[in-house]
Structure formats: C-alpha cells, structure tokens
C-alpha cells in the first residue's frame, strides 16, 4: 500500500451511482483519506453531496473550483460530455503530479479534449464496468465494484508511476479486476456490449409500448421481457450523452446487428427451420462461454 499512500486527497466532480461507489471504496479501504466533492450549484446545497457528507463518505464539499489545486486524484463522474466540458475549467488549477481520471463509458471524445487542453500527462481514462438500473449516490455501495472489470486506457505520455498507482488503486481499493487497453479498442467493445444493448432494449420497450393500446402487453410483461429490458430504466440523459459521444462505433455495430435481424426475419418468413435453429444455437453457444457460472444454476 506504500504507493497508494502517496495520494491522500481525493476529489469528485459528480457523485452518482459509480462515483459514489468509488468514494465509498476509498473511505472503506483508506479511512484516513480526505475526500472532497465539488458542488456546481454554487448558491445552494446539493442534496446528494450533503447525504454523502452525512454518511461520512465525504470529508467536505466545495463550491469553489479552484479548490481542486489541493486534490491529488480527481474523479470525473458526470455524464461523458459534461466530463469533457470540465477539462478546460480544471486545467488552470491542477497540481503538477495530479492524476485526473474519469468513470465514463466512452473514451475517444474525452481523449481528444485532453489532447487539445495539453493534459495528456495526467489523464488516465477509467471505466468501471458495473452498474444497476438505478441512478444517484443513494444507490451506491462499495461492493458494486468488487470483481467487476475496471478498464484503464492510459497513453504513453502518462508517467509509469501514475499508471501503477491507478492499477493498484483499482485492484486494492475498489477490489476490481484491472484491464488496460487501447482507447479505440475500448470504445468499439463497449459499443457492442453496453451501448447498443441499451438502444436495443429501449427499442423493444418502445415497440411494445406502441402496440399496447389495450394494456394487455403491460399486464402480461414478465420473465424474459423484464430481464432483457431492465437496463431501459437507466438515465435517459446519460444514455443520450453516451450515444452522441460514441456515435461512430455504435452506428457500425448497429449496422451489423440490423443485418442479423434481416437474416432472421427472412428465415422466419421463409420458414427456414435450419437457419432459425442455427441462429439460436450459435447465440446459445457463445453466451454459455461468456457466463458459464449461470449454467450450474439452471434447473
């Protein structure tokens, strides 16, 4: 823990489900750490930050952006495009050896902004791949991040010591599984396993909603429909921001996905039993490899 001890003051811009869970991990594993949060309201109290202060997770709250000059590590935990907007505001006040990171699920856009602002030396993109359908600090909990994949996307302009600090932080404070990958590879992968599924889930809900003039769909909705559409209860504002920030990768994936739907539609229309069976069989084979632990719980 010697390397971790070199950073004692943590700051948060945004404190929702993920940011709150990271802050709770810090308070749990590094109890003597100072944890501050920025209140962008300026003239009134922020209810969720006040809740975190009352919980003992936060040490203090500030409405003065210049206070970040005392922060050793800064977590950007607002929607992805808002994180980008904060870079220019933070730049004049960052410590020389400060680590600036985020928890957003899109990296290309923020790295472009980091480069424009000349912050390549201190920014290490982060993405804890955890979450629930709920939003807000009140739903955060430290164990949310335990054993999840926490992706880091450092460039070669970041000091090796800073990268090692973040890797130790992920492994020993959040108790997550640290994975380091390229920015482009990250955005392409998350488009397929996170972003497009939210679009597909919302499309399914909206398709059912459009047909449910008598309320029968709502009455019968359960089981598979509930499971596959759970993520549609997530924040519309957050997912709007994500879709705009990772546009190219999402469009590329949706194009391929639409091709598979067209193939299946044609097979059903033609009554092609072999093609229909192959469609489901290949999906089952791959998913069983992804989540083998679920097989042992099936009845």
The CATH superfamily holding the domain 4-181 is: NAD(P)-binding Rossmann-like Domain (3.40.50.720)
pLDDT at residue 297, as a whole number:
54
Confidence of residue 133 (pLDDT cuts 50, 70, 90): confident
- The pLDDT tens digits of the residues spanning 158-194 come to 999 999 999 999 999 999 999 999 999 999 999 999 9
- In the chain, which residues fall in CATH 3.40.50.720? 4-181
Q: Is 21 a residue whose pLDDT tops 50?
A: yes
Q: Residue 192: CB partners within 8 Å, gap ≥ 6?
A: 253
Q: Is 1 a residue whose pLDDT tops 70?
A: no
Residue 92 three-state SS: helix
Helices (H), 80-235: 80-90, 108-116, 160-172, 183-190, 196-211, 216-220, 223-229
35-68 exposure pattern, b = at least 16 Cβ within 10 A, e = fewer: bbbbbeeeeeebebbebbbeeebbeebbeebeeb
pLDDT at residue 161, as a whole number:
96
Average pLDDT over residues 12-38: 97
In this prediction the pTM is 0.87
- In the chain, which residues fall in CATH 1.10.3660.10? 187-297
**Pairwise CA distance, residues 170 & 128, whole Å:** 9
The share of the chain scoring above pLDDT 70, in percent, equals: 98
Q: Is 109 a residue whose pLDDT tops 70?
A: yes
- The pLDDT tens digits of the residues spanning 61-101 come to 999 999 999 999 999 999 989 999 999 999 999 999 999 99
Query: Both ends of the chain: CA-CA distance in Å?
Result: 44
Confidence of residue 299 (pLDDT cuts 50, 70, 90): very low
pLDDT at residue 43, as a whole number:
78
The CATH superfamily holding the domain 187-297 is: 6-phosphogluconate dehydrogenase C-terminal like domain (1.10.3660.10)
């Amino acid at each position: 823990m010697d390397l971790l001890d070199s950073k004692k003051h943590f700051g948060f811009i945004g404190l929702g489900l993920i940011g709150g869970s990271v802050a709770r991990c810090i308070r749990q594993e590094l109890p003597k750490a100072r944890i501050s949060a920025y209140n962008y309201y300026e003239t009134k109290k922020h209810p969720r930050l006040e809740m975190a202060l009352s919980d003992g997770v936060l040490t203090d709250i500030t409405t003065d952006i210049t206070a970040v000059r005392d922060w050793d590590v800064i977590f950007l935990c607002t929607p992805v495009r808002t994180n980008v907007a904060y870079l220019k505001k933070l730049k004049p006040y960052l410590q020389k050896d400060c680590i600036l990171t985020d928890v957003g699920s899109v990296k290309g856009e923020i790295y472009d902004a980091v480069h424009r602002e000349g912050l390549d030396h201190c920014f290490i993109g982060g993405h804890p791949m955890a979450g629930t359908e709920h939003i807000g600090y009140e739903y955060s909990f430290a164990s949310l991040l335990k054993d999840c994949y926490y992706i880091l996307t450092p460039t070669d302009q970041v000091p090796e010591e800073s990268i090692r600090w973040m890797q130790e932080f992920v492994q020993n404070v959040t108790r997550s599984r640290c994975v380091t990958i390229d920015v482009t590879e990250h955005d392409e992968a998350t488009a397929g396993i996170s972003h497009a599924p939210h679009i597909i889930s919302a499309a399914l809900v909206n398709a059912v909603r459009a047909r449910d003039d008598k309320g029968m769909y709502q009455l019968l909705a359960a089981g598979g429909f509930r499971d596959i559409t759970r993520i549609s209860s997530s924040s519309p504002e957050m997912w709007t921001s994500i879709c705009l920030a990772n546009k190219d990768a999402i469009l590329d994936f949706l194009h391929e996905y639409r091709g598979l739907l067209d193939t299946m539609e044609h097979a059903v229309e033609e009554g092609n039993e072999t093609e229909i069976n192959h469609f489901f069989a290949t999906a089952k084979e791959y998913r069983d490899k992804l989540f083998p632990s679920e097989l042992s719980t099936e009845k």
